[in-house]
Amino acid sequence: MGNNKLGLFVVLLGIFVISTTTYLSRHIYITDFLRGIFNGVGIGLEIIGIIIMQQKKLHLKFM
């Protein structure tokens, strides 16, 4: 259960980073380079969160 909560937290953190960048870019000027970095970090966090959540399922299959 701990992996699912941690994975979900990391996925939600990634979504928060992407949505915050999108919100800020509408109100202040953010260069394309910074927007790309933040979007890349957000997508990376989401992928890592999904991998963390899948670790629990793989562990249960072997038991």
pTM value is: 0.76
CA distance linking residue 18 with residue 37, whole number of Å: 10
Measure the CA–CA gap between 5 and 26, rounded to whole angstroms. Answer: 32
Q: Looking at residue 36, what is its pLDDT?
A: 92
Residue 61, pLDDT score: 59
pLDDT by residue, tens only, the chain of 63 residues: 566 788 889 899 999 999 999 998 899 998 899 999 999 999 999 999 988 888 755 555 555
At 41, the amino acid letter reads V
